[in-house]
Amino acid sequence: MLIQKAADIPSSEITPESVYLKRRQFIGGSLLSSAALALSPVTFASAQKELTALQYTKATGDSPSGFYTSEALTPFQDVTHYNNFYEFGTGKTDPGESAHTLTTDPWSVTVEGAVDKPGKYNLEDLLSKVNLEERVYRLRCVEAWSMVIPWVGFPLADLIKQFKPTSSAKYIQFETLYRPDEMSGQRSRTSTIEWPYVEGLRMDEAMHPLTIMAVGLYGRQLPNQNGAPLRLVVPWKYGFKSIKSIVKIRFLNAMPATSWNRIQSKEYGFYANVNPDVDHPRWSQKSERRLPSTFFSPNRILTEPFNGYGEQVASLYKGMDLHRYY
C-alpha cells in the first residue's frame, strides 16, 4: 500500500524559504500548532540548554497511514532520560547526565558520494528548505523494550532531493559526530564500539515516507541525549539503526558498513527489521516491554513484524529471506 501524501508534494507547493523564515508572521494559519507557541523554552535541571519550541504540523488520526498512533505516549522524562547513546556512556541514564557537554550550534552536514551536489551544508540552510511535521512513532530497541515518541521532523526524502543523487546511489550511509573532548563515552577504553558510529539504509528504505530526519520531540528541539540536532528515525527497524547527531551523509553504490554489524555480525545485521520470528542469538525477540514498565505493570507485549509497520513497508522486502537478511 503506497502512502501518497508526503512523497507527492509538487515543488510548487513547497514553502519558499523567505516565507518560511517569516512564518511567525503567518501565525493564525490553521495548520500551525498553537500549543507550541504558548510554551516557553524548557530547561533541564542539570544545566542543559534551553529547548526552543518548534513550528510544525501536528499528527492526528487523519494523517497518512503509519504517521500517527493513538497508543499511549512514553512520558517526556523517560524518553529523555533512558537512552542508548554510548558516545556519552553505556548506562541508560548516562546520556541524560553527560550530554550537556555537546555543542550543537553551529552544525553542518558533509555530503559525499554519488550526488550532483556534494559539499558541506549548514544545518540551518538544510532546514530552511523543509517543512516540519510531527510523527508519532513506536521505537523498538533490540534489547526488547520500546517507546512511543512524538517526533518532530521531515521526510528524509526531502533532504536527499536537495543533493540530487545520481543513478549509482544505491545506498546511503550516515555518520555520527566524533568529538571525544565533548563526548565522554568516546574516551572510554572498554567500550565495544569503534567511533564514529555509522549506519546505513538501502535507497528505497531511505526514500520511504515513514523514514524521517528528526530535529525535535514533544514539540521542542531535540535534547542532546536524543541525538541533537539532527537524527534519523526509521520506525520499522531496531532502534540502533536510528542514528543520532549526524554529521556526514554518503551516497554509495554498495552496502555500507554499520557499527553494530561490525561489532557482532551474527547478532546485528544491516537490515535490522523488527521481526519476532528472528531471535537475537542471545535473547528472544518475540516480546518487548513497553516503557514505562513498572513493578506491578510490566507492560509486556508481543512484538509485531516490522514493529507494526508491515502494511507500509513489507513490500520493500518482498521475496527476501528475512532469516538470512536480518
Partner 1 sequence: MVIRKVLVFILCLVPLCLLIYQIAAGQLGPDVGKALVLATGIWALRFLLLALAVTPLRQVTRIHELAQLRRMIGLYAWFYASLHFLVVLTYLLGWSWTIFIEEFSERPYMTLGITAWVLMVPLGLTSNRWAQRRMGRRWKSLHKAVYLIGVLACAHFIWLIRSDYAEALTYSLILTVLLLVRVGAKYKRALPRIGRGSHDSA
Alpha carbon of 181 to those of 35, 87, 102, 178: distances in Å? 38, 11, 9, 9
Query: Per rule CB under 8 A, is residue 323 in the interface with partner 1?
Result: no
**Site of grid cell 516490522:** 306
The 8-class DSSP code of residue 299 comes to -
Q: Which residues contact 13 (CB under 8 A, 6 or more apart)?
A: none
Give the binding range for partner 1 (CB under 8 A) out of 27-35, 70-78, 114-122, 202-210: 70-78
Query: Per rule CB under 8 A, is residue 129 in the interface with partner 1?
Result: no
| Cell numbers representing residue 245 in the block | 547527531
In contact, 221 and 51? CB cutoff 8 Å: yes
Phi and psi of 132, rounded to 5°? Answer: -85, 140
Query: Per rule CB under 8 A, is residue 71 in the interface with partner 1?
Result: no
* Environment class of 165 (CB within 10 Å of its CB; exposed 0-12, middle 13-18, buried 19+): buried
How near is the Cβ of 231 to partner 1 at its closest, in Å? Answer: 19
Report the residue number, 254 or 302, with the smaller CB distance to partner 1: 302
How near is the Cβ of 78 to partner 1 at its closest, in Å? Answer: 4
The count of chain residues that interact with partner 1, using the rule CB under 8 A, is: 30
In contact, 73 and 148? CB cutoff 8 Å: yes
How near is the Cβ of 280 to partner 1 at its closest, in Å? Answer: 9
**Site of grid cell 526552543:** 52
For the window 192-231, what string marks contact with partner 1 as x by the rule CB under 8 A?
x---------------------------------------
Query: Per rule CB under 8 A, is residue 278 in the interface with partner 1?
Result: no
How near is the Cβ of 58 to partner 1 at its closest, in Å? Answer: 25
Q: Is 42 helix (H, G, I), strand (E, B) or coil?
A: strand
Q: Which of 180, 187, 298, 325 touches partner 1 by CB under 8 A?
A: 298
Q: Which of 22, 187, 266, 300 touches partner 1 by CB under 8 A?
A: 300
Strand partners of residue 119: 111
Q: What residue ranges bind partner 1 (CB under 8 A)?
A: 74-75, 78, 81-82, 84, 86, 90, 92-93, 143, 145, 188, 190-192, 279, 282-284, 286-287, 289, 291-295, 298, 300
